[in-house]
Structure formats: C-alpha cells, structure tokens
Amino acid sequence: MEILFIIATLIVTALISILIKRRGFIEFFSIIASGIVLFESIVVAFKVSTAGTYSPFIFFSVDSLGAIVMLIIACVGLATTIYSIPYLQQETAKGIIGFTRVRQYFVLLNIFLLAMFLATTAGSPIFAWISIEATTLSTAFLISFYNKPSAIEAAWKYLIINSIGLLLGFFGTLLYFTSVSPLGGDGFVSWQALAINAAHLDPLIAKIAFIFVLIGYGTKVGLAPMHTWKPDAYSKAPNSIGTLLSGGLLPVVFIIILKFKAMTDAVVGPQFSQHLLISFGILSIALAALIMFNAKNYKRVLAYSSIENAGVMALGFGFGGLGVFAAILHLIYHSFVKGVLFFSSGNLLLKYNSAKISNIKGALRVLPISSTLFITGFLIVTGVPPFGIFLTKMQILSVGIQIYPVSSIVALFFMTLAFIGFLKHITSMFFGEKPHDIEIGEGNIWLILPPMLLLIGIIILSFYIPPFLSRLMHDAVSHYEYD
C-alpha cells in the first residue's frame, strides 16, 4: 500500500504543477509530497528489515537493496525539492527563467522521482526497463531546461546515447527470458521467476545476455567508455537535477545490473561477471582521473567524480565479500555527498554567474559557508579520512589486494590521481583574490540548509549506522555477494 501511496502522491503533485497557476502552491505541494514520500519509504524500509522482501502486489517487489535505494531517492529528492525553490526564485529574479519554466521544472522533477521509484520497486525486469526509459525522457527535458543551443545539444546527446544503451539492455533482458518456459503462466515474468529459472539458461546465452545488460545499463550509470553523455548533461542541467542524476538514478540502475548479475553467477559462476565489473571499474576510475586534470567547468568535474565513484562501486561488487558491503555503503555516502557538492556549486553559479573554473576566484571569502560545504564535500568524495568514503574505498581495496593485487594497485593510483586533479581546481577556485565586482555574502538560507543537512547525514552515517539500515545492508550482502 505504501508503494501505491508514493506513486499516487507524485502523480497528483505533477498534475497540480500542471493545473495550478500559483507558484507558491506548486512549491508547497512539492515539498509536502517529498516529505510524504520520505515517510512512506522509511515505513517500507522498516518492513523489509524485519520481514524480508516486501511484495504487496504482483507488480511490485522490494528487497533489502531496493529499500536502501528507496531511502536514498527519498532523502535526496526531498533535499532537491527544498533547494530548487530558492534556486529557481533567484534565477527568476535575474530574468533567466519565467513562471512557465518553473512549472515545467516541478512537473518533470516529480515525474523523474516517480520513474526512479517505479524502477526500484518494479516486480518485473520489463517494467523496470520501461521506468528507466521514462527517466531518460523526463531528464532530457530537464537537461535542455535553459533552452540554450549547448543545452539542447547535450540533451539530444544524452537521449540518443542512453536510448541506444537501453535498447542493448533490453535485448540482454530478452535473452534471460529464454530460461522461462512459454507454457502456462499468465505471461508476467517477475524477477523471482527469472531467478528460479536461471538454472535452465544456456551458459553461453547467459554470458552474452549479461554483456548486453552491463553495457546497456552501464551506459545509464556512466561507466567508461559509455560515459560520454555525462559531462555534457551534468554541466547543462540545473544543479539540483545533477544531484538526482548522480545521487538518485545511479543507485537505481546499479540495482538492475546486480539482479542480472546474480542470475548470471548462478549459471556460469561468479568469475565472468567479476572480471567484467572489475574491468569497467578500473577503466572508469582511470579515465575520470585523467580527464579531470584538464576540466574547465566545475560541474564537469563533478561529472567525472561520479564516473570515478561508479567505477569504485563496480570494483566493490566485482571483488565480492566485504567489497559488496563496502560498495553498498559507498553508494549511500556518494549519493549524499553529491547533493552537498551540486547544491553548493549551485550557490557558486548564482553568485559568479559562471560555471567556468577560471572565472571563480576567492570563493572562500565571497561565500564562506557554501565554499566550506564544497571543500568538505571534495574531501569526502575523494576519500579523505575520517569520513565514510575513506573507509569504503579502503575496504574495497583491502578485499581486492588479496585476489587481484595488480588491479587494486592500479585503482589506488588513479584514485590518488583523481584527488590531485580535484585538489588543483579547489585551490584555484576558493583561494586568491576575489573579483572586484562580486559582493561578499551568502544568499537565501534555504540554499545552504539542504547541503548542510546532507553533510550532517554523511557524518552521522560515517560513525553510526542505524540498526534497521545495518540489517538491510547485511541482508543485501547475503543476496549479492559470492565466495
């Protein structure tokens, strides 16, 4: 019932945004809806932590990892909604957008959230694929939100590359369906049915199917070399949408990859998927680290950081064992810290009216709170102790060094390189003399509160994991790890 309530809430809010012509009402209902969604997600998470997989209807099924991702989407979604209101108000005051654009934004935002929840809770891989495709369509319009030629180009690039990727993923999905008997049944093929019938799948078909799934859905994750859409999309979309693309959508797509991986492992053993995930993981970390050095736009730097961290997660799931636990925890930390980075970089954009690194000087003096948040986010996302991502990276590498020492050392080298590249841009942007035409002072407090709350959440989770969340994580590890 909770899942239906989440879906209904987001649909009604999207309709309200279409029908009502008063901006205040649209903003109010969007916040209320996000709050309700967070509450219902917590209820679902508690149910899964105590009773196992939650399937209120045949079309919906939430396991432990799904419950964790629901919480991530809900938390990041609420923070994004709160941040979007003052952010868009300031852009309206500057004449960048009008009320029509604001209304379109909240319609698409709620549709995007709805599609992510549907993909996470879908009981069938076909429904999950349809929902992921829906995220592509809704976010394409958000990427082209400012209607500039470069933004429209980025949206088309995003749409074409991801659509092709998802077609490959769909083909791989259909190959898995060859394990299910066409006789009998009601025609509905669930994740559970595929898992039960995985033993009937031909090993060669299983390998081919997983390659298509990993490349297809890996495009949506942004794993290299399928990452080419990501820097353009992140740099042209509103900062708040960058938060959801990196912190919300990435975990959702990883769930789907892991479900297919579990089926593949049951047929051909874990080594095949393990080698693929490790290869894509190292390639993602390496490319992101190398490109980050020459980035000219700080929003593109955040995109490269997302590619690097997607590679770290792929390594964790590839190494297995404790690496899976660390990868899940890394996924949570990364989603929250990307909110901190995108929101605080949005404040920089509002103040300096530029996303070019060369145009940002003396930011620590101009925006002391936002700059501190951004620098702290940088330290967290690059794995500086004592924050949680340092521990997850070290846990993943400690597992890898025992079974794949060369891969682990290479990964560590490029992680260090990514830190140096990011640090280079940090020193350029936040220190030195500020431009004479830039006034000192933060904007609306509501532009500072969402990233601050996410940062507090990261710090708490770095030292204390609530019992229900710990149960969910351990149960998820038992489903997705291998020896």
Query: Tell me: the pLDDT tens digits for 413-469?
Result: 999 999 999 999 999 999 878 888 888 888 789 999 999 999 999 999 999 999 999
Round the CA-based radius of gyration of the chain to a whole number and report it.
Answer: 21
Beta bridge partners of 54: 62
Mean pLDDT of the 178-198 span: 74
What is residue 190's predicted lDDT score, i.e. its pLDDT? 85
How many domains does the chain contain in total?
1
Q: Which amino acid is at 196?
A: I
How is residue 256 written in tokens? 């789907």
pLDDT band at 179 (very low <50, low <70, confident <90, very high): confident
C-alpha distances in Å from residue 261, one per residue of 134, 277, 358, 399 = 23, 10, 43, 19
CA–CA gap between residue 479 and residue 368 (Å, rounded): 45
How is residue 266 written in tokens? 């049951």
CA–CA gap between residue 443 and residue 432 (Å, rounded): 21
Q: How many CB atoms lie within 10 A of CB 100?
A: 9
Residue 262: pLDDT above 80? Answer: yes
Mean pLDDT of the 281-306 span: 94
The enclosing H or E element of 36 equals: helix 23-51
How is residue 376 written in tokens? 């702290």
Cα 310 to chain center, whole Å?
9
What is residue 220's predicted lDDT score, i.e. its pLDDT? 94
- CA dihedral 457→462→468→474, nearest 10 degrees, is 140
The end-to-end CA distance of the chain, in Å, is: 37
Pick from 109, 118, 132, 33: which is nearest to 70 by CA?
118
pLDDT band at 183 (very low <50, low <70, confident <90, very high): very low
Write the DSSP symbol of residue 225: T
Residue 121, Cβ density class (10 Å: 0-12 exposed, 13-18 middle, ≥19 buried): buried
Instruction: Show the domain range for 366.
Output: 2-480
Residue 230: pLDDT above 60? Answer: yes
Mean pLDDT of the 227-247 span: 93
CA–CA gap between residue 63 and residue 143 (Å, rounded): 31
pTM comes to: 0.95
What is residue 62's predicted lDDT score, i.e. its pLDDT? 94
- Per the prediction, the chain carries an average pLDDT of 92
CA–CA gap between residue 332 and residue 391 (Å, rounded): 13
What is residue 58's predicted lDDT score, i.e. its pLDDT? 84
pLDDT tens string 315-340? 999 998 899 999 999 999 999 999 99
pLDDT tens string 64-122? 999 999 999 999 999 999 999 999 999 999 999 999 999 999 999 999 999 999 999 99
Instruction: Give the SS3 label for residue 82.
Output: helix
CA–CA gap between residue 144 and residue 341 (Å, rounded): 21
Write the DSSP symbol of residue 382: T
CA–CA gap between residue 2 and residue 14 (Å, rounded): 18
What is residue 184's predicted lDDT score, i.e. its pLDDT? 44
Compute the half-sphere exposure of residue 461: CA atoms within 13 Å on the CB side of its CA. Answer: 27
What is residue 326's predicted lDDT score, i.e. its pLDDT? 95
Instruction: Give the SS3 label for residue 22.
Output: coil
Residue 293: pLDDT above 90? Answer: no
How is residue 246 written in tokens? 């990196």
pLDDT band at 186 (very low <50, low <70, confident <90, very high): low
pLDDT tens string 204-217? 999 999 999 999 99
Contacts with 320 (C-beta within 8 Å, 6 or more apart), sequence order = 270, 274, 399, 481, 482, 483
pLDDT tens string 385-394? 889 999 999 9
pLDDT band at 244 (very low <50, low <70, confident <90, very high): very high
Instruction: Give the SS3 label for residue 62.
Output: strand
